Structure 1
Amino acid sequence: MTPDDFEAVVADAALSPNVHNTQPTLWRRIDTRTIALLEAPDRTLPHGDPTGRDVAASHGAAAEGFILAASLRGFAVRPALAHEGEVGRLLVDGAATPDLLAPFLTRRRTYRGRFTTDRMQAALTDLAVAAPDLMLLTRTEDIDHVARLNDAASLRGFRNKAFRAELLSWMRLSPRHPRWSKDGLNARAMEMSSLEAMGAGVALRPGVFEILDGLGLGPVLTGEAAVVNSAAAVALLHRPADEAPFETGRAWHRAWLEMTRLGLAAAPMTVLADDTDAAADLSVRFNLPPDRRLITVFRLGRAPDSSLPPPVRRPLKDVII
């Protein structure tokens, strides 16, 4: 793999999903066959992800993205044992034909707005076969239950001052923000109007949120039940309980790409897996096997035409070291 090949593959791999769009993975080409993944030290989430599990899964998703992008260019790439200081290592191991999911790597987006009324029945049927680690919920009462659970868990998170401050630090609420088109969650990606974004910037400030929450406005500020209830389905992604987060991230990425391949737009509701009460509720209500771990919950449906925002990613010079 030449330096030019490497840069082209990293450019596509960098589009892989990652927590809060922090883009914590750095890349190093050691030689023509060896690629190291490293962690950017300033892109972890001490309050939102104290164990580092979500960041580790993000590295795994990035690795899977590299493997997929390499296959489009004829390279077979496989994971190898990481060396000290690395979070992962990949080896070029011969030639490959393109992976079925590889063309969708650059098309996948997060869609956080309301879905159309299309119930996407054929796509959901195919998804159930293609991604057995997804439990699909299509009944109105089940989706509504998840929506209410998501609102409750989100509100608990926003009431945590440290968590809220950390999340706000990754939000880009104005196009004038210097990192609007580089990382984090910008207002366009969050389906916020300029007025909504300006209001969020004020309402989430320390002290202000507590006052508004005390007036009973907390659920209004943080809730998104109407958006969740517009979904054609909710999908619970579950994996083996003892699986390493890096491997979980690879599976998470492939499941999302299956959705993209089938024409489904998706948004993760990660708080439902991170919040202990919410995760326990879902595991019991929907009978997840005891040897499986809830990884995240997606809401799925069809996005309105031309509504998916362009990807927000760091330039290659910042992620290749």
Structure 2
Amino acid sequence: MLPTPEPWPLLLDEARAYPSPHNSQPITVRVHDGRRAELLYDLRRGLPAENFGIPFGNVCAGVYLESLATVGAAHGWSVTPDLRGEDLDFGATARHQSLGTVTLTPAPVIDRARADLAAFRRRRTSRRPYRNIPVDPAVLAEATTIAADAGHHFGHTARRALVGDLVRINQETLFDDLRDDAVHAEILAWIRTSDRQAEATRDGLSARTLLLPGPLLGFALRHRGMWDLPLAGPLLRRIYLSTMRGVRELGWLTGPFAGAADHVAAGRVFLRIWLAFTKADVYLHPFGTVITNPRSHEAFVSAAGIDSGENRMAWMLFRYGHSAEPPPALRRELSAMLLDGNGAPA
């Protein structure tokens, strides 16, 4: 298979299926020539209200970089990054912050690269109820190896009591975040309560992918005090928890998380693990807010007995398992993530 002479349109169009927090899709690209492009972060699409908004902005960049590398490898291109390794500055006046550049080099296509791309194309976040059946231990062993090769540790549990505790912590995190005015406003900005709204923006968290009725979702989030009412609160919590049925196993990642380079590397290893699960028809659902909420994170590491160590932390928690195929989250068109030389959409 020979690489295409003008690879960027093909590669970037496929890579835009990368997962991002709140489906915010913050990575933009400025193509310099046929072999080199600049990656930038759209600061207006970040999550600065979150306690770990800056680190997870770079985690997202790492996920995107691994996505681009996965697509490139299957089309005959090796992707070499040269990143700045800087924290994001959400107070900057410019809208886009440069992350660095990537360079393409022709490379032979191997079977593993084709399998990885097939998994990338099938990968989805599943918030559906999971079937109460165990995941093949061989899949967990592969995830353990992928993490270890990158200096991280993949922890997991099927202990019913611990799974229940961590699911409860995840549930309570949403209610806790809704009490924070800045986080509440940020959540509302990314909620899409109707198919029409989701189609118009092609980003954010749609009611369809959240598996919740749009009008109820919008009303409950706008009137956050309802979650604490004696009758309405328990009802809303039951509806929210209904999608958590069948959760049998949870996984987490612990590793270097002290600076921007660590955060980017963490994002890359997370996508590799996600693709390994996808190849085995196993879905994931990250519990991101458990990490970004300080109280929830402390409760999580305490319950799981995690000892992170110096410059390391438990930076990802997710449920995994088998479910029906989830609805796809929409993505913006490629033209919306391309910039010209002046920083405007190409």
**Cα distance in 1 for residues equivalent to 2:138 and 2:232:** 38
| 1:183 pairs with 2:183 | no
| 1:167 pairs with 2:187 | yes
Alignment of 1:203-222 (within 5 A): 203-205=220-222, 208-215=223-230, 217-218=232-233, 220-222=235-237
Q: 2:46, 2:53 within 8 Å by CA — same for their partners in 1?
A: no
Does the residue aligned with 2:327 lie in a helix, a strand or coil? coil
> Pick from 309, 313, 317: which aligns with 1:297?
317
**Cα distance in 1 for residues equivalent to 2:73 and 2:132:** 36
- Cα displacement string for residues 13-48 of structure 1 (whole angstroms, at most 9, x for unaligned residues): 111111100000001211222111112232122223
Alpha-carbon RMSD: 2.5
**Cα distance in 1 for residues equivalent to 2:214 and 2:244:** 20
| 1:152 pairs with 2:169 | no
Q: 1:128, 1:136 within 8 Å by CA — same for their partners in 2?
A: no
**Cα distance in 1 for residues equivalent to 2:252 and 2:327:** 24
**Cα distance in 2 for residues equivalent to 1:219 and 1:137:** 28
Q: 1:137, 1:234 within 8 Å by CA — same for their partners in 2?
A: yes
Does the residue aligned with 1:80 lie in a helix, a strand or coil? strand
> Pick from 67, 86, 101: which aligns with 2:116?
101
Q: Percent identity?
A: 24
Q: 2:125, 2:285 within 8 Å by CA — same for their partners in 1?
A: yes
Q: 1:128, 1:135 within 8 Å by CA — same for their partners in 2?
A: no
Cα 1:16–1:253 change in 2 (3 A) is same
- AA aligned to 1:313 is R
**Cα distance in 1 for residues equivalent to 2:329 and 2:145:** 26
**Cα distance in 2 for residues equivalent to 1:177 and 1:28:** 28
| 1:287 pairs with 2:299 | no
Structure 1, gaps ≥5 residues long: none
- Cα displacement string for residues 108-154 of structure 1 (whole angstroms, at most 9, x for unaligned residues): 10001101233223454444444443211111111101111112222
Q: 2:19, 2:63 within 8 Å by CA — same for their partners in 1?
A: yes
Which range moved further: 64-73 or 44-53? 44-53
| 1:277 pairs with 2:286 | no
Q: 2:78, 2:107 within 8 Å by CA — same for their partners in 1?
A: yes
Q: 2:51, 2:293 within 8 Å by CA — same for their partners in 1?
A: no
Cα 1:3–1:187 change in 2 (3 A) is farther
**Cα distance in 1 for residues equivalent to 2:309 and 2:127:** 31
Does the residue aligned with 2:44 lie in a helix, a strand or coil? coil
Q: 2:191, 2:207 within 8 Å by CA — same for their partners in 1?
A: yes
Q: 1:36, 1:82 within 8 Å by CA — same for their partners in 2?
A: no
Q: Which one has a larger percent helix, Structure 1 or Structure 2?
A: 2
**Cα distance in 2 for residues equivalent to 1:82 and 1:320:** 20
Alignment of 1:192-231 (within 5 A): 192=212, 196-205=213-222, 208-215=223-230, 217-218=232-233, 220-222=235-237, 224-228=240-244, 230-231=246-247
Q: 1:110, 1:308 within 8 Å by CA — same for their partners in 2?
A: yes
Q: 2:282, 2:321 within 8 Å by CA — same for their partners in 1?
A: yes
**Cα distance in 2 for residues equivalent to 1:282 and 1:49:** 16
Query: How far off its partner does 1:179 sit?
Result: 4.2
**Cα distance in 1 for residues equivalent to 2:165 and 2:131:** 20
**Cα distance in 1 for residues equivalent to 2:269 and 2:156:** 16
TM-score in terms of structure 1 length: 0.88
Structure 2, gaps ≥5 residues long: 87-96, 148-152, 340-346
- AA aligned to 1:30 is H
Q: 1:143, 1:228 within 8 Å by CA — same for their partners in 2?
A: no
**Cα distance in 1 for residues equivalent to 2:242 and 2:56:** 27
Aligned residues: 314
Q: Which residue of 2 aligns with 1:90?
A: 102
Cα 1:159–1:93 change in 2 (3 A) is same
Cα 1:97–1:251 change in 2 (3 A) is same
Cα 1:7–1:51 change in 2 (3 A) is same
Does the residue aligned with 2:34 lie in a helix, a strand or coil? coil
TM-score in terms of structure 2 length: 0.82
Cα 1:294–1:228 change in 2 (3 A) is farther
> Pick from 310, 313, 328: which aligns with 1:310?
328
Q: Which residue of 2 aligns with 1:261?
A: 279
